[in-house]
C-alpha cells in the first residue's frame, strides 16, 4: 500500500535536533512549540492527506499483564503461582521492548513452568473453572465435552474465537492426557497449561482489517480493539462483556469505543494500571535498586526508598483519581503524602495516625510538586552526590520529549574536582565553556542546577562544602529557583502536555510515534487541554482517536 | 535438534552403562544427550574419551564495565595501567595482572593490547560502542525521535555463536551469570546484558546464585513423571499455533516467531532430558542480597565460579558469560573504602588511582574464576586446559571512552588450540579486535572461519596466540 506521507516543514525541523545534535541555538528545546504550530491544522478524524500509520507488531504481554490475565481467567489462587519473564525496555518503555524482543528459551522455560503451576492451582480451586464448563463428561476421554471446554476457555484466553483446527488440536491434547490419567480434569489441566503457552495468549496479536468506509485505511478488528483497550486501560485481558460487545460490532464505531473507554477508566483497576505507568515514566521502579553511600547519606534503606516511591505515586494518584484535578498539579502541588520514615527524612512533623498522611509542604524549601520529591531527587543522582545533569536530562527527555544526543566522540568526559571546586555548579561549568558540550548541556544542566538545594537523597540544604549554593537557574532561558518554580514553568509548557500524550501512546502501542502519526496525537493533546488537563479524559480521547484504533500493514 | 544429538547416540553405542547417559524422549524416540565425561569413560591417558572423542571444550566471556585507569591522566597517549611493557612469554607482571600470578594462573593468560574495535566505529556513543567488542557487529541505534536513547546489539555475541554451534550437545546451550547488580537498564539491552543471540534476543543474566543453582542443577524432569509426555504434547501444539500465526504476520514478526519456535524446541529437549549422573552441589546459601547497602561481591563471585566449574565438570553446559560489573555500572567497591559508583569514578580524573584499585580488585575476582577451573581436574588435565576465557570491557578508560586498546585477556589452553604459556601480544597495526573473537571461537568451533560483521568482520585469527 502506498500513501502520501504527511511531513510538513515543521515536522522536519522537529526531527533535526535528534539527528544533528543540540547545535543551533537550542533547537532541541523548541521541539514542542513546533508541534503546536501543527496543531491548528490537525483534525481528529483525519483528512485525505492523513499521515501513515505504523506497522503493528506482536506485543508480548508485560509481566504484570500476564499475571493479571491469569488471575482474571482462573482466579487469584492461580495468579499467585504465576511467574513472569523479565520485561526488556527499549526507548524507555517495556511496551516498546515487548514489540521488538523475541522470546528466549529462558522465557519459554518460565512460561512452561508457570502455566503448569497455574493450571494445577485452578484445578485445585473449587469453582475456578465453572465459567468454562457447560457439560458433564460422560467418560474420561469425552471428546465433545473437552471441545466445549476448550472453546469456552480458549475464546476468553486468546481474546477471539478459535478456528476448527485450533479446537481440534487442543482438545486432542486434553483427551490424550485425560485417557492416560483416566480423569477428564487431568485433560482440562493440560489444555489450560498449554493454551496459556500459546503465542495466541502470550502476545497481543494485531493484524487489522480494511476499513469498509475507507478501504485505504486499516482498522483493528473489534476483538483487537477490545484487547488493546483492556491491556492499556486496565493492564489485563478483556472481559467477556467487552469481547461480546466487540463481537456485536460496538467497537467498530468511535462512539462505541468512547462509551466503553469512559466506563473502563472508572474501573478501580485503571488506577493500578496507571500507577504502573507512572512508576515506569517517572523511573520510580529504579528506587528498589538505587544504591546510596550510607556514609554520605546515613539512613538510606530499602524501606525509605520504597516510601519515596509511594509518596510520588500517592500524589499522582490523588491528582488524577481522587481529585480528578488538573493533571499538571503534580508539578506544583503544595502538599504531599508522607509516612513516619519520610517525615523524619524531610525533617517535618508527622501528623500522626498510621501509614501515609497528607501534609502541607514545609515553607522555605522551595518545594512543590514531584521535582521536590525525594524519589526523583534520589534516583536522579549519584551514589554519593547529586547530578544536575541527570535531573535536567529527565526534565528534557522524559517530561518534554526532547531527545538528548550522545556526547560527541573523543570528548574527555571528566568533571573537574578538588578543593577549588566547592559546588556542583562550579564543577559543571566546564560543560558550558566548551562549545561541543554546551550545545546539549546548556539545556540539560540548568534545570538540574536549580534543584541543587536538594541533596542526593532529596534533603534540603543551602551549603555545599562550606559555600552557599547558588540555585538560580533557568529552563531553556526562563529563570527559576527550586522545585516549585521549575514545576510552575513546566506546567505552562505545551511540550509538557503533549509529551504526556506521547508517553501514553508509546506505552499503549509499543512504538515511538512516527512522523505520520503526530497530527493525530496533537489532536488528542488539544482535547486533553480542552478538558482542562483531566488525565482520565486524555485516556478516553487517546483510545477513541484513530491513532489508537487504526494501524498500518505489516511489512512483508 | 535430532541431528545434533546423533553423535552422542554413537557414543552411547559403545557399551556404556545406560545410567551414565542423559536419556530422554525427543521427537518420539529415545535418544541420548551428551555424556558427562566421567573417569570411567576416559581413555587410559585421561586425554580423551575411551572411544577417542576429544574432551569437551568450554568458552566463557567475562565482562567488567567502564575500562581501566590511565597511566597518566594528563597524557592520554601514555595508555592504560593494564598491559605489560614487554611482549611474548614471561612478560612483566603489572599490578593489574599480579592477582593472576598470585593465583598461579598467569601462565594460562594471553594479554592482548593495541587492538581496535572496528565494529565500534559505525555509531559512536560511549560504552555502547565499546560493548560491540563481544559481537564484532556494529550496534543498532534505535531512532529516539523525542524518546529515550536506546540501542541493541547488531549481531550475536561470540558466546552465542559458539552456543549455536555446540550448545545442542548439552542440557543447557549456555548460561548467563552476573555478579554486581548495579547495572544500567535505561538505554536498552546493549548496556544491560552481555549475551545476545541476535539484535532482538538479549539473554538476561542470573544474579542470584540460588537461581543459578536451580537452572544448572535442579531443573531436570523426574524420570518417571507421568506428566512429561503431555507437557511435550502441549509444546507441540504450541509449535503448531506459532506456525499458523507466522502465516498472518509481517516479516519481522515471522522472525521473532521463528526464534520463539527455536526456544520452544530447546525447552522441549530440556524437559525430555534426564538428570546427569554426577555430584550435585547443595543449594548455596548466598542470594546476592545487599548487606547494609553493600553488595557481597566476593561471596557471590566465588559461589558463581564454583557452580560454573561444577556445571562444566558435569557437562551440563559448555558456554557461559559472566557480567562481573555493568557497562556504565555503578558498583561501589566498598571493601576498598570507596563510596562512589564505578562509572562516576572512571569519569573523574582525580579518582584515577581509585579506578586502578577497582581494576586490581576486579582482576582478583577474575583470578578466582581461573583458579576454580584450574583446580577442577578432568582426566590428566583440568578445566582451564579445556576452556577459553575471554576478558573484556566497554572502553579503554572511562575518561576517554576510547575503543582502541581496551583491556583484553584470553585465558585457558582452549583444549590445546591456544599457546601455553601465555604471551603478551601488542598489535603493531591496531588490528581489528574481532580477530580475537575468531581465535576464541576457534577453540570450541575449530571449523569457524569468521567472526563479526560489516565494519567488525574478521576472517583472520590472532595467530600469535594460537598453538
Q: ipTM, 2 decimals?
A: 0.90
Q: Between B145, B271, B347, which is nearest A18 by CB?
A: B145
Q: What is the CA angle B456-B458-B460, rounded to 5?
A: 150
Closest CA to A456 of A384, A539, A371: A384
| B271: chain A residues, CB-CB within 8 Å | 112
Q: How far is B11 from chain A (nearest CA, A)?
A: 27
Residue A268: which residues within 8 A CB-CB, separation 6 or more? none
Q: Residue A286 forms beta bridges with which residues? A: none
pLDDT at A349: 95
A165-171: long-range contacts at Cβ-Cβ below 8 A with a sequence spacing of 24 or more? A165/B244, A166/A200, A166/B241, A166/B244, A169/B237, A169/B240, A169/B241, A170/A194, A170/A195, A170/B237, A171/A143, A171/A146, A171/A147
Contact A520, A505 (CB under 8 A): no
- Does B348 lie at the interface with A, CB-CB under 8 angstroms? yes
pLDDT at A425: 84
Residue with cell 575500562: B67
| B141: chain A residues, CB-CB within 8 Å | none
Q: Residue B120 forms beta bridges with which residues? A: none
- Does B374 lie at the interface with A, CB-CB under 8 angstroms? no
- Do B263 and A93 make contact, defined as CB atoms within 8 angstroms? no
Q: One digit per residue, pLDDT tens: chain A, 556 residues? A: 333 333 333 333 333 333 334 543 333 333 333 343 343 344 444 444 578 999 999 999 999 999 999 999 999 999 999 999 999 999 999 999 999 999 999 999 999 999 999 999 999 999 999 999 999 999 999 999 999 999 999 999 999 999 999 999 999 999 999 999 999 999 999 999 999 999 999 999 999 999 988 888 899 999 999 999 999 999 999 999 999 999 999 999 999 999 999 999 999 999 999 999 999 999 999 998 888 998 899 999 999 999 999 999 999 999 999 999 999 999 999 999 999 999 999 999 999 999 999 999 999 999 999 999 999 999 999 999 999 999 999 999 999 999 887 776 666 666 676 677 888 888 888 777 777 788 788 888 899 999 999 999 999 999 998 999 999 999 999 999 999 999 999 999 999 999 999 999 999 999 999 989 999 999 999 999 999 999 999 999 999 999 999 999 888 7
Task: Give residues 85 to 104 of B whose Cβ lies within 8 Å of A.
Answer: none
- Do B145 and A513 make contact, defined as CB atoms within 8 angstroms? yes
| B173: chain A residues, CB-CB within 8 Å | 105
- Does A12 lie at the interface with B, CB-CB under 8 angstroms? no
| β B58-63/B387-392 pair status | parallel
Contact B447, B168 (CB under 8 A): no
- Does B84 lie at the interface with A, CB-CB under 8 angstroms? no
Residue of A nearest to B270 (CA): A109
Q: How far is B100 from chain A (nearest CA, A)?
A: 30
CB pairs under 8 A between A and B: 247
In this structure, what DSSP letter does residue A251 have? G
- Does A92 lie at the interface with B, CB-CB under 8 angstroms? yes
Q: Residue A326 forms beta bridges with which residues? A: A534
- Does B30 lie at the interface with A, CB-CB under 8 angstroms? no
Residue of A nearest to B265 (CA): A105
In this structure, what DSSP letter does residue B361 have? H
Q: How far is B130 from chain A (nearest CA, A)?
A: 12
pLDDT at B35: 42
Q: How far is B338 from chain A (nearest CA, A)?
A: 9
- Residue B67 phi/psi, 5-degree rounding, is 70, -165
Q: How far is A270 from chain B (nearest CA, A)?
A: 24
What are the angstrom distances between the C-alpha of B190 and each of A69, A553, B193, B359?
Answer: 31, 29, 6, 22
pLDDT at B11: 27
Q: How far is B117 from chain A (nearest CA, A)?
A: 14
- Do A105 and B339 make contact, defined as CB atoms within 8 angstroms? no
| A166: chain B residues, CB-CB within 8 Å | 241, 244
Interface test with B, best of A383, A419, A512, A515 (most B CBs within 10 A): A383
Q: Between A109, A177, A197, which is nearest B230 by CB?
A: A177
* Lookup: cell for A490: 513546566
Residue A147: which residues within 8 A CB-CB, separation 6 or more? A167, A171
| A18: chain B residues, CB-CB within 8 Å | 143-146
Residue with cell 462509551: A259
| A182: chain B residues, CB-CB within 8 Å | none
Could you give the count of Cα atoms lying within 13 Å of B164 in the half-sphere of its Cβ? 15
Q: How far is B464 from chain A (nearest CA, A)?
A: 31
Residue of A nearest to B183 (CA): A289
Closest CA to B173 of B328, B11, B417, B5: B5
Q: How far is B105 from chain A (nearest CA, A)?
A: 33
In this structure, what DSSP letter does residue A28 have? G
3-state SS, A198-217, equals: CHHHHEECCCCEECCCCCCC
For residue A178, give the H/E element and its range.
helix A164-181
Distance between CA A266 and CA A252 in Å, rounded? 22
Task: Give residues 354 to 413 of A whose Cβ lies within 8 Å of B.
Answer: 382-385, 397-398, 401-409, 411-413
Q: How far is A58 from chain B (nearest CA, A)?
A: 7
Task: Give residues 174 to 233 of B whose Cβ lies within 8 Å of A.
Answer: 181-182, 185-186, 188-189, 192, 197-198, 200-204, 219, 226-227, 229-231, 233
Distance between CA A20 and CA B292 in Å, rounded? 45
Contact A81, A118 (CB under 8 A): yes
| B190: chain A residues, CB-CB within 8 Å | none
- Do A112 and B231 make contact, defined as CB atoms within 8 angstroms? yes
Contact B390, B110 (CB under 8 A): no
Residue of A nearest to B266 (CA): A105
- Do A102 and B340 make contact, defined as CB atoms within 8 angstroms? no
* Lookup: cell for A396: 528534557
| B117: chain A residues, CB-CB within 8 Å | none
Residue of B nearest to A186 (CA): B227
Could you give the count of Cα atoms lying within 13 Å of B82 in the half-sphere of its Cβ? 30
Parts of chain B with a pLDDT under 70 = 1-41
Closest CA to B440 of B120, B115, B200: B115
Task: Give residues 518 to 547 of A whose Cβ lies within 8 Å of B.
Answer: none
Contact A223, A159 (CB under 8 A): yes
B21: how many CB neighbours lie within 10 A of its CB? 22
Task: Give residues 431 to 450 of A whose Cβ lies within 8 Å of B.
Answer: none
Q: Between B200, B257, B271, which is nearest A199 by CB?
A: B257
Q: How far is A414 from chain B (nearest CA, A)?
A: 5
Q: Does the bond joining B421 to the residue before it have cis omega, within 30 degrees of 0?
A: yes
Residue A493: which residues within 8 A CB-CB, separation 6 or more? A32, A400
- Do B145 and A89 make contact, defined as CB atoms within 8 angstroms? no
Distance between CA A400 and CA A398 in Å, rounded? 6
Alpha helix segments (H runs only) across A318-362: 340-346
Distance between CA B467 and CA B456 in Å, rounded? 24
What are the angstrom distances between the C-alpha of A550 and each of A4, A39, A85, B404, B458?
Answer: 17, 20, 29, 48, 45
| β A357-360/A335-338 pair status | antiparallel
Interface test with A, best of B238, B258, B338, B395 (most A CBs within 10 A): B238
Task: Give residues 20 to 79 of A whose Cβ lies within 8 Å of B.
Answer: 31, 55, 57-58
pLDDT at B39: 52
pLDDT at B55: 87
| A302: chain B residues, CB-CB within 8 Å | 290
Q: How far is B152 from chain A (nearest CA, A)?
A: 9
Q: What is the CA angle A316-A318-A324, rounded to 5?
A: 100
Residue of B nearest to A98 (CA): B200
A512-544 CB burial, b ≥16 within 10 A, e <16: bbbbbbbbbbbbbbbbbbebebbbbbbbbbbbb
| A199: chain B residues, CB-CB within 8 Å | 238, 241-242, 245, 257, 260
In this structure, what DSSP letter does residue B33 have? E
Rounded to the nearest 5 percent, the helix, strand and coil shares of chain B are 40, 15, 45
Amino acid at each position: 500500500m502506498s500513501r502520501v506521507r504527511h511531513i510538513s516543514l515543521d515536522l522536519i525541523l522537529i526531527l533535526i535536533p535528534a539527528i544533528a545534535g543540540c547545535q543551533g541555538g537550542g533547537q532541541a528545546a523548541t521541539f514542542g512549540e513546533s508541534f503546536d504550530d501543527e496543531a491548528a491544522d490537525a483534525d481528529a478524524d483525519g483528512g485525505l492527506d492523513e499521515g501513515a500509520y505504523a506497522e503493528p507488531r506482536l506485543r508480548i504481554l508485560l509481566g504484570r499483564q500476564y499475571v493479571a490475565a491469569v488471575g482474571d481467567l482462573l482466579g487469584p489462587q492461580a495468579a499467585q503461582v504465576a511467574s513472569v519473564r523479565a520485561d526488556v525496555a527499549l526507548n524507555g518503555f517495556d511496551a516498546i521492548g515487548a514489540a521488538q524482543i523475541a522470546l528466549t528459551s529462558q522465557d519459554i522455560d518460565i512460561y512452561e513452568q508457570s502455566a503448569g503451576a497455574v493450571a494445577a492451582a485452578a484445578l485445585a480451586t473449587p469453582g475456578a473453572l465453572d465459567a468454562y464448563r457447560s457439560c458433564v463428561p460422560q467418560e474420561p476421554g469425552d471428546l465433545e465435552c473437552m471441545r466445549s471446554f476448550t472453546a469456552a476457555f480458549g475464546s476468553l484466553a486468546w481474546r477471539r474465537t478459535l478456528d476448527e483446527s485450533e479446537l481440534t488440536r487442543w482438545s486432542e491434547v486434553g483427551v490424550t492426557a485425560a485417557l492416560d490419567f483416566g480423569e477428564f480434569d487431568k485433560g482440562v489441566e493440560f489444555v489450560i497449561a498449554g493454551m496459556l503457552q500459546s503465542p495466541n495468549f502470550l502476545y497481543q496479536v494485531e493484524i487489522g482489517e480494511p476499513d469498509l468506509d475507507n478501504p485505504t485505511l486499516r482498522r483493528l478488528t473489534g476483538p483487537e480493539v477490545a484487547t488493546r483497550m483492556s491491556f492499556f486501560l486496565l493492564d489485563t485481558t478483556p472481559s467477556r462483556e467487552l469481547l461480546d460487545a466487540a463481537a456485536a460490532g460496538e467497537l467498530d464505531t468511535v462512539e462505541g469505543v468512547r462509551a466503553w473507554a469512559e466506563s473502563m477508566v472508572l474501573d478501580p483497576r485503571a488506577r493500578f494500571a496507571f500507577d504502573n505507568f507512572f512508576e515506569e515514566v517517572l523511573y520510580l521502579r529504579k528506587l528498589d535498586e538505587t544504591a546510596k553511600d550510607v556514609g554520605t547519606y546515613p539512613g538510606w534503606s530499602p524501606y525509605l526508598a520504597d516510601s519515596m516511591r509511594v509518596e510520588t505515586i500517592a500524589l499522582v494518584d490523588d491528582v488524577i483519581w481522587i481529585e480528578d484535578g488538573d493533571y499538571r498539579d503534580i508539578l506544583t502541588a503544595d502538599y504531599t503524602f508522607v509516612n513516619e520514615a519520610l517525615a523524619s527524612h524531610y525533617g517535618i512533623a508527622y501528623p500522626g495516625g498510621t501509614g501515609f498522611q497528607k501534609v502541607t509542604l514545609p515553607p522555605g524549601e522551595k518545594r512543590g510538586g514531584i521535582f521536590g520529591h525525594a524519589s526523583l531527587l534520589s534516583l536522579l543522582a549519584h551514589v554519593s552526590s547529586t547530578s544536575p545533569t541527570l535531573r535536567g536530562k529527565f526534565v528534557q527527555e522524559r517530561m518534554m520529549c526532547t531527545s538528548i544526543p550522545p556526547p560527541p566522540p573523543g570528548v574527555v568526559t571528566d568533571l573537574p574536582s578538588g578543593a577549588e571546586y566547592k559546588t556542583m555548579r562550579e564543577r559543571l561549568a566546564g560543560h558550558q565553556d566548551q562549545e561541543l558540550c554546551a550545545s546539549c548541556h546548556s539545556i540539560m544542566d540548568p534545570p538540574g542546577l536549580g534543584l541543587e538545594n536538594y541533596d542526593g537523597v532529596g534533603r534540603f540544604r543551602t551549603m555545599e562544602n562550606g559555600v552557599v549554593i547558588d540555585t538560580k537557574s533557568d529552563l531553556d532561558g526562563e529563570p527559576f529557583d527550586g522545585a516549585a518554580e521549575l514545576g510552575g514553568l513546566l506546567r505552562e509548557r505545551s511540550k509538557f502536555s503533549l509529551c504526556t500524550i506521547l508517553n501514553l501512546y508509546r506505552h499503549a502501542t509499543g512504538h515511538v510515534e512516527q512522523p505520520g502519526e503526530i497530527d493525530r496525537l496533537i489532536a488528542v493533546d488539544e482535547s486533553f487541554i480542552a478538558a482542562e488537563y483531566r488525565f482520565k479524559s486524555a485516556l478516553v480521547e487517546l483510545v477513541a482517536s484513530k491513532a489508537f484504533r487504526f494501524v498500518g500493514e505489516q511489512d512483508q | 535438534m535430532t541431528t545434533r544429538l546423533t553423535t552422542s547416540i554413537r557414543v552411547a553405542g559403545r557399551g556404556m552403562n545406560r545410567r551414565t547417559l542423559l536419556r530422554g524422549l525427543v521427537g518420539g524416540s529415545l535418544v541420548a544427550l551428551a555424556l558427562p565425561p566421567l573417569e570411567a569413560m576416559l581413555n587410559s591417558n585421561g586425554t580423551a574419551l575411551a572411544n577417542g572423542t576429544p574432551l569437551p571444550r568450554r568458552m566463557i566471556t567475562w565482562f567488567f564495565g567502564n575500562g581501566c585507569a590511565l597511566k597518566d591522566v594528563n597524557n592520554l597517549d601514555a595508555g592504560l595501567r593494564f598491559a605489560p611493557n614487554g611482549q611474548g612469554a614471561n612478560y612483566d607482571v603489572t599490578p593489574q595482572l599480579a592477582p593472576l600470578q598470585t593465583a598461579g594462573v598467569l601462565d594460562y593468560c594471553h594479554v592482548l593490547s593495541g587492538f581496535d574495535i572496528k565494529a565500534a566505529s559505525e555509531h559512536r556513543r560511549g560504552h555502547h560502542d565499546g560493548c560491540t567488542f563481544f559481537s564484532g557487529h556494529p550496534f543498532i541505534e534505535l531512532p529516539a525521535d523525542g524518546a529515550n536513547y536506546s540501542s541493541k546489539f547488531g549481531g550475536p555475541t561470540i558466546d552465542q555463536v559458539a552456543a549455536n554451534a555446540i550448545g545442542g550437545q548439552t542440557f543447557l546451550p549456555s548460561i548467563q551469570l552476573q555478579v554486581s547488580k548495579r547495572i544500567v537498564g535505561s538505554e536498552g539491552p546493549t548496556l544491560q546484558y552481555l549475551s545476545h543471540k541476535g539484535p532482538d534476543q538479549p539473554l538476561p543474566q542470573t544474579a542470584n546464585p540460588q537461581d543459578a543453582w536451580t537452572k544448572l542443577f535442579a531443573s531436570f524432569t523426574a524420570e518417571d513423571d507421568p506428566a512429561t509426555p503431555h507437557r511435550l504434547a502441549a509444546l507441540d501444539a504450541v509449535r503448531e499455533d506459532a506456525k499458523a500465526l507466522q502465516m498472518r504476520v509481517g516479516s519481522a514478526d515471522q522472525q521473532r516467531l521463528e526464534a520463539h519456535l527455536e526456544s520452544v524446541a530447546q525447552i522441549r529437549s530440556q524437559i525430555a532430558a534426564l538428570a546427569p549422573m554426577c555430584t550435585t552441589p547443595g543449594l548455596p546459601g548466598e542470594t546476592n542480597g545487599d548487606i547494609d547497602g553493600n553488595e557481597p561481591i566476593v561471596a557471590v563471585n566465588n559461589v558463581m565460579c564454583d557452580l560454573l566449574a561444577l556445571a562444566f565438570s558435569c557437562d551440563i553446559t559448555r558456554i557461559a558469560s559472566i557480567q562481573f560489573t555493568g557497562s556504565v555500572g555503578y558498583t561501589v567497591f566498598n571493601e576498598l573504602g570507596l563510596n562512589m559508583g564505578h562509572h562516576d569514578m572512571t569519569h573523574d580524573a582525580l579518582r584515577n588511582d581509585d579506578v586502578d584499585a577497582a581494576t586490581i580488585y576486579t582482576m582478583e575476582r577474575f583470578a578466582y574464576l581461573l583458579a576454580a577451573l584450574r583446580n577442577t581436574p578432568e582426566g590428566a588435565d583440568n578445566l582451564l586446559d579445556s576452556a577459553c576465557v575471554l576478558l573484556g570491557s566497554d572502553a579503554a578508560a572511562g575518561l576517554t571512552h576510547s575503543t582502541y586498546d581496551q583491556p583484553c585477556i584470553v585465558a585457558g589452553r582452549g583444549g590445546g588450540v591456544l599457546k601455553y604459556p601465555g604471551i603478551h601480544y601488542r598489535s603493531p597495526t591496531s588490528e581489528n579486535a574481532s580477530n580475537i573473537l575468531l581465535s576464541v571461537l576457534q577453540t570450541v568451533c575449530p571449523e569457524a572461519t569468521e567472526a563479526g560483521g560489516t565494519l567488525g568482520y574478521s576472517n583472520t585469527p590472532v595467530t600469535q596466540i594460537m598453538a
